[in-house]
Amino acid sequence: MVDIAFIGLGAMGSGMAASLAKAGHRVRAYDLMPDSVAAAVAAGCDAAASVGEAVVGAAFVVTMLPTGAHVLDVYQNGEGVLAHAHPDAVLIDCSTISVEDARAAGESARARGILMCDAPVSGGVAAAAAGTLTFMVGGTADEFEKAQPILQAMGKAVIHAGQSGAGQAAKICNNMLLAISMIGTCEAFVLAEKLGLDPKAFFDIASQSSGQSWSMTSYAPVPGMVPTAPSNRDFTNGFAGALMLKDLRLALEATHAVGMTASLALKSEEIYSEYIVKYQPNRDFSGVIDMLRNQ
Ligand code: NAD
């Protein structure tokens, strides 16, 4: 049994903290939202009243926060993770943030002799709740080895991507592809509908044909196909369109940094920007199908 501080109990963090508690770890959970802390307690965690209270004495500190600005603030502010972490603690940030911010967080930890790895996830809310996420980890071999057992309690695959920041590099490339593939999947469903095809018949065919993708078979944007997909709950409690847009922008920043043009990523950025204005920023990204259907 290991003491773990868990900070950020939102759509993803709530399930991840619960998986750690279920695996027998002592988890001290903190979020700005008291209701989220109460839900974590109901799932077997202990409540912490601040970042500091969660972190003091913990062997591992897991963060699952919206953006790089949140992560750097929670790490570096005077009442934050670095001010309270034990020198032997291992910090694991699972949020999706820029490679640059991940490296900055890692450097500020290592400057204090504390190990840190970036370990963003793939899999969505259902996988977070089921403990079947995929983790892509950036850090030294030692950091990876130490973080691995904790990540394994929350996931089905834990992969060492390379040095600090490499987990985030893998994540933004993956999500650039997901952003594009979801729009393609939505357009195919809309065209199928307009051609008079039964959506279930199209799903059964495409999910076993060359149009198959994760967007289709694990996260279908049409209800009644994949029970855990947000399309069955009016696109609530999924992966917010605003967060997908954030990831896409991180990918586009990276394309600029390396001097490449990714035209489908650019077009997708335009589409999700319009989507979060026309609908709700919190609405799941696969709900973009409604906007595409009504165009
Ligand atoms: P979310 O907005 O549901 O949760 C973030 C939580 O962080 C919220 O509960 C918020 O109150 C809390 N928070 C913010 N600032 C805080 C602070 N200073 N101290 C304590 N708590 C604080 O977001 P999410 O969907 O859980 O996503 C978290 C990260 O995971 C993001 O970087 C996202 O891009 C990534 N991600 C999300 C999904 C998904 O399907 N939702 C999938 C893969 C990766």
Of 137, 163, 189, which closes a domain?
A: 163
Residue 288: burial class (beta carbons within 10 Å; 0-12, 13-18, 19+): buried
**pLDDT of the residue at 2:** 78
Question: Which residues are catalytically annotated?
Answer: 171
**Do 21 and 105 reside in the same domain of the chain?**
yes
**Do 138 and 249 reside in the same domain of the chain?**
no
Going from the Cα of 110 to the center of ligand 1, the distance in angstroms, rounded, reads 24
**Do 255 and 154 reside in the same domain of the chain?**
no
**Do 98 and 216 reside in the same domain of the chain?**
no
Q: Ligand 1: which of 6, 35, 45, 65 to mutate, judged by most atoms within 8 Å of the beta carbon? A: 65
Q: Output the residue whose Cα is nearest ligand 1's atom 30.
A: 95
Going from the Cα of 31 to the center of ligand 1, the distance in angstroms, rounded, reads 10
Of 163, 178, 213, which closes a domain?
A: 163
Domain count across the chain: 2
| pTM, two decimal places | 0.91
Tokens of 51: 């970042």
Q: Where are the beta strands (DSSP E) in 15-154?
A: 26-30, 46-47, 60-63, 90-93, 115-118, 121-122, 133-138
Spans in the chain with pLDDT lower than 50: none
**Do 123 and 215 reside in the same domain of the chain?**
no
Ligand 1, residues at Cβ distance < 6 Å: 7-13, 30-33, 36, 64-66, 70, 74, 95-96, 121, 124-125, 239, 243, 247
**Do 173 and 236 reside in the same domain of the chain?**
yes
HEC profile of 195-248: CCCCHHHHHHHHCCCCCCCHHHHCCCCCCCCCCCCHHHHCCCCCCEHHHHHHHH
Q: For residue 264, what are the domain limits?
A: 169-293
Going from the Cα of 196 to the center of ligand 1, the distance in angstroms, rounded, reads 39
Q: Which helix (H) or strand (E) holds 170?
A: helix 166-194
Question: How many Cα atoms within 13 Å fall on the side-chain side of residue 267?
Answer: 9
- The domain that holds 52 is classified in CATH as 3.40.50.720
**Do 87 and 188 reside in the same domain of the chain?**
no
| Predicted confidence (pLDDT) per residue in 107-133, tens digit | 999 999 999 999 999 988 999 999 999
**Do 140 and 280 reside in the same domain of the chain?**
no
Of 163, 194, 210, which closes a domain?
A: 163
| Predicted confidence (pLDDT) per residue in 238-256, tens digit | 999 999 999 999 999 999 9
**Do 78 and 19 reside in the same domain of the chain?**
yes
Which atom of ligand 1 lies nearest, measured to the CA of 124? 40
**pLDDT of the residue at 1:** 62
- The domain that holds 266 is classified in CATH as 1.10.1040.10
**Do 234 and 274 reside in the same domain of the chain?**
yes
Q: Do residues 200 and 224 touch, judged by C-beta distance below 8 A?
A: yes
**Do 19 and 108 reside in the same domain of the chain?**
yes
Q: Ligand 1: which of 12, 14, 32, 286 to mutate, judged by most atoms within 8 Å of the beta carbon? A: 12
**Do 26 and 129 reside in the same domain of the chain?**
yes
Q: Where are the beta strands (DSSP E) in 48-106?
A: 60-63, 90-93
